[in-house]
Amino acid sequence: MSPHSKLRRIGWIAALASCAALYLMLHLKVHAVHSEVVRAERQIVALEQQKMLLETEFETRSNQLQLAAWNRVDFGYTAPSAAQFLENERQLASFGRPRAPGAPEPIRVAGGHGVEAPEYPRLVSPLTGRPIDEALLEPEGSTLAAAADSGTLRIPLGAVMSGSGQ
Amino acid sequence: MNGPMTAWAVPIQVPPGRFRLVDVRRRALLLAQLRVLLVGAAFLLLALAAMLRIAWLGVVEPAPNQRSMADALLPPRGEITDRNGVPLARAFPAYALWFNPAAMADGGPPLVQSAEAVAARLKAIFPDLDAYVVARQLASGKAGYLRRRVLPEDANRVMALGELALELPRETDRHYPQGSMAAHVLGYVEDGEGRVGMEAALDARLSDPALRSQPVALSIDARVQGALEDELRRGMLSVNAVGAAGIVLDVDTGEVLALASLPEFDPNHVDDAGRSHVFNKVTNQVYELGSTFKPLAVAAAIDAGTVTNLARRYPATPFHVSGYTISDSHPLGASLNAPEALIHSSNVVTAHIVDDLGAARMKQVMADLGFNERPYIELPARGFPIWASGNWPRLQAMTVGYGHGLAVTPLHLASAYAAMVNGGIWRPATLQRVAPGHANRGRRVFKASTSARMNQLLRMIALYGTGRNANAPGFRIGGKTGSAEKPGAGGYRQSTLVSTFAAAFPMDRPRYVVIAMLDEPQGTLASSFQRTAAWNAAPIVGRLVPRVGPLLGVRPDETRDIDLTDLMPLIGEQE
């Protein structure tokens, strides 16, 4: 065996070994990502169930019987009468009256824009803890339609994952 | 490990007497090296085996039996929603209360406090619990359910008791968030099978693994259903009626927007008292619905051309036919025309109109309206009408004309009224949501012109006749009262009535039919000590329509109404 062929053999073995090592690393990485996905799925399932629990509890507490009782007993609400409905802008305008001559100036209230008003809190992703892009909260169409389309999945998963920067 | 080493060591121990040892030290060294090599090889073998096992686990062995997310989120039974997606029935991971005496695992008593004290504290959380039975169960030390269904808030309070032996396992359960609302429409689930309502009708669909992830939308509107039940209950209690039934039907599609039968039951907790209320008065109980049939008879006569002149006057004095006298509850004068007969609800004039129409034609129209078969709806409980087969004699047709001698369900009446006001097309009622443009084609029963005329007449009854108490301003309600005596042992019982108000709104372009029915109402202060429908059933509709009209897209408008100018001269002076 010449030194040349020996060198070549060592080279082949080294290449093979490095390929095997790289493959092993890739394999481990794939498995790590996979288990991460599984964990995320489990978390989603748990959150979905929790959400359904809360939603059902909310629906139960706000059932029609309860609302009717509150409306009647606590608030004394009645159905709106015909006079409370407006057909169009013209009918609305007919309620107004032009300002009479010599009437006092209408009071104008100064509006404050962006002063002292704290920023509205943003919805935070339960998976990553970072704020969610607002465009993802209303993915094409209403949330109801999205829930009906996706069947078991109540939230658009792809949107959440991409929104949380993964 | 020790085995091979000693096995190797034994033959190397050379008996000193046989051979001459050349170099003992060298041999000993070799021996030591060999042993090290062996130990190393054993460890290497072990490591290799471990690596192979890891590779085997990672590559060949199937992954641990984990459910995919879609499986985990697939409900064990499909959800039922109303037409707007409000959940009416859903599989709900509820809690149960389980007594596990072995939970403490220290050999001591299972409970920290005495069984009686724990039972008393549980009773404080669940007032309907039998403290004595529970205390005995806790003292017996046997594991078992204390309660099958516990609400999350109650579960928290049980946890706060601090008894480890009281466990709260999660169990899948059917939950109806709206409680007793729409109970007769939904039914309930027992032993994994749907009972009574749509739970039974859709049982296969709701438990199909391929379909149950998608909720089933009913035609019911939860808000309308809630308002209907609320008003019916109020009306029923105010006149001490034994029961009430109501329905709101879309006249163009046949969709049932609300269907209520009182007294109701709670599908979340069906006990013996609840089971006795399972019977559906709207689809299963047949009644003689009395004067509400009169507009149908008049419509049949107009449609057949036997009433061409609404100004024609018929005698209103008692009518003797086949040995029987048809009379009115109170005298209405010598003669009446058809609009006046409807406004004042005259049996005699209706009998004359049906007599002109002919019994065969009358029977044909009643059959076209579906009165000779069970009502069309998905619910399993559908009552068969009391329908006289064969040729109807003259008297039979006349009594049917004012709602006696033919008993149908309130749902039959609602479908017939829908056909009368919607332009003449009869459609089967349905509890499934109908996509726009996919309504059943139905069959024509009345001409469109007949329907338009009937809309005017129904509106006149609500404006000037017995239906005045239902006339909510701006909603253009039209309808007919009916107070029928219930048949009992030995003929009709005069004081036991079924009072019905069958209405439609808005009459200038009818969209919904509303039926309110009270079973055995009494004369109370609330009904001015009257038992008839004008005083108990009509006000229910008058209160209900303003509540549901705006929700259903009917805006009240007092400047609008159906044109009655051509009929006004026929009915004389009205207040």
Tens-place pLDDT, residues B498-513: 999 999 999 999 999 9
Option in B70, B474, B556 nearest A152 (CB):
B70
Do residue B239 and residue B323 come from a single domain?
Answer: yes
| Domain end residue (candidates: B165, B182, B217) | B217
Q: Considering only alpha carbons, which residue of chain B is nearest residue A32?
A: B58
Q: How far apart are CA B260 and CA B181, in angstroms?
A: 8
Query: What percent of chain B has pLDDT above 90?
Result: 48
Q: How far apart are CA A154 and CA A161, in angstroms?
A: 14
Which of B252, B292, B300, B254 is closest to B446 using CA atoms?
B300
Instruction: Let me know the angle formed at the C-alpha of B379 by B378 and B380, rounded to the nearest 5 degrees.
Output: 115
| Domain end residue (candidates: B178, B200, B217) | B217
Q: Say which range, A143-147, B226-230, B374-378, has the weakest mean pLDDT.
A: A143-147
Domain assignment present for residue B516? The answer is: yes
SS3 B259: strand
Report chain A residues whose CB lies below 8 A from the CB of B93.
Answer: 49, 52-53
Domain assignment present for residue B293? The answer is: yes
From A146's Cα to the closest Cα of chain B, the distance in A is: 12
pLDDT at B66: 58
Domain assignment present for residue B68? The answer is: no
Option in A41, A59, A63 nearest B69 (CB):
A41
The answer to whether the CB atoms of B226 and A31 lie below 8 A apart is no
Q: How far apart are CA A59 and CA A54, in angstroms?
A: 9
Q: Considering only alpha carbons, which residue of chain A is nearest residue B473?
A: A82
Domain assignment present for residue B239? The answer is: yes
Domain assignment present for residue B12? The answer is: no
Do residue B188 and residue B251 come from a single domain?
Answer: no
Query: What percent of chain B has pLDDT above 70?
Result: 94
| pLDDT tens figures, A19-52 | 999 999 999 999 999 999 988 988 888 888 888 8
The answer to whether the CB atoms of B558 and A65 lie below 8 A apart is no
Average pLDDT over residues B60-83: 77
| pLDDT tens figures, A141-150 | 544 444 444 4
Do residue B93 and residue B233 come from a single domain?
Answer: no
Average pLDDT over residues B88-99: 84
Report chain B residues whose CB lies below 8 A from the CB of A80.
Answer: 546, 550, 556
Structure tokens at A133: 């892009």
Q: How far apart are CA B321 and CA B299, in angstroms?
A: 23
Do residue B139 and residue B212 come from a single domain?
Answer: yes
Do residue B266 and residue B241 come from a single domain?
Answer: yes
Do residue B187 and residue B137 come from a single domain?
Answer: yes
What is residue A86's DSSP assignment? -
Do residue B120 and residue B188 come from a single domain?
Answer: yes
Option in B92, B214, B557 nearest A82 (CB):
B557
Report chain A residues whose CB lies below 8 A from the CB of B74.
Answer: 152
Range of the structural domain that residue B563 is part of: 226-472+512-569
Do residue B241 and residue B361 come from a single domain?
Answer: yes
Q: How far apart are CA B121 and CA B484, in angstroms?
A: 53
Q: How many CB atoms lie within 10 A of CB A151?
A: 15
The chain B residues in contact with chain A (CB within 8 A) are 58, 66, 68-70, 72-75, 85-87, 90, 92-93, 151-153, 175, 177-181, 213-215, 222-223, 225-227, 229-230, 473-475, 543, 546-547, 550, 555-558
Q: Say which range, A151-165, B133-147, B310-324, B373-387, has the weakest mean pLDDT.
A: A151-165
Q: How far apart are CA B504 and CA A145, in angstroms?
A: 32
| End-to-end Cα spacing for chain B | 116
The answer to whether the CB atoms of B473 and A82 lie below 8 A apart is yes
The chain A residues in contact with chain B (CB within 8 A) are 27, 31, 38, 41-42, 44-45, 48-49, 52-53, 55-57, 59-60, 63-65, 67-68, 79-83, 85, 87, 144, 148, 151-153
Q: How many CB atoms lie within 10 A of CB B62?
A: 5
Domain count, chain B: 2
Q: How far apart are CA B255 and CA B429, in angstroms?
A: 6
Domain assignment present for residue B38? The answer is: no
From B223's Cα to the closest Cα of chain A, the distance in A is: 7
SS3 annotation, B107-156: CCCCCCCCHHHHHHHHHHHCCCCCHHHHHHHHHHCCCEEEEEEECHHHHH
At B551, which CATH number?
A: 3.40.710.10
The answer to whether the CB atoms of A64 and B213 lie below 8 A apart is no
Structure tokens at B480: 């007919």
The answer to whether the CB atoms of A87 and B557 lie below 8 A apart is yes
Q: Considering only alpha carbons, which residue of chain B is nearest residue A82?
A: B556
Do residue B105 and residue B252 come from a single domain?
Answer: no
SS3 B505: strand
C-alpha B232: how far from chain center: 16
Which of B547, B558, B561 is closest to B248 using CA atoms?
B547
Interface-testing mutation among A27, A152, A157, with chain B (most B C-beta atoms within 10 A): A152
Do residue B249 and residue B202 come from a single domain?
Answer: no
Q: How far apart are CA B554 and CA B104, in angstroms?
A: 63
Domain assignment present for residue B65? The answer is: no
Report chain B residues whose CB lies below 8 A from the CB of A141.
Answer: none
Option in A41, A52, A63 nearest B178 (CB):
A63
pLDDT at B64: 59
Do residue B408 and residue B550 come from a single domain?
Answer: yes
pTM of the predicted protein model: 0.76
| Alpha-carbon distances, residue B188 vs A114, B92, B149, B193 (angstroms) | 54, 14, 15, 8
CB B354 within 8 A of CB B401: yes
DSSP state letters, A124-162: B-TTT-SBPPHHHHS-SS-HHHHHHHHTT--S-HHHHHH
Q: Give the ipTM.
A: 0.70
The DSSP bridge partners found for residue B170 are: B95
The enclosing H or E element of B413 equals: helix B410-421
Instruction: Let me know the angle formed at the C-alpha of B251 by B555 and B536, rounded to the nearest 5 degrees.
Output: 75
Q: How many CB atoms lie within 10 A of CB B294?
A: 27
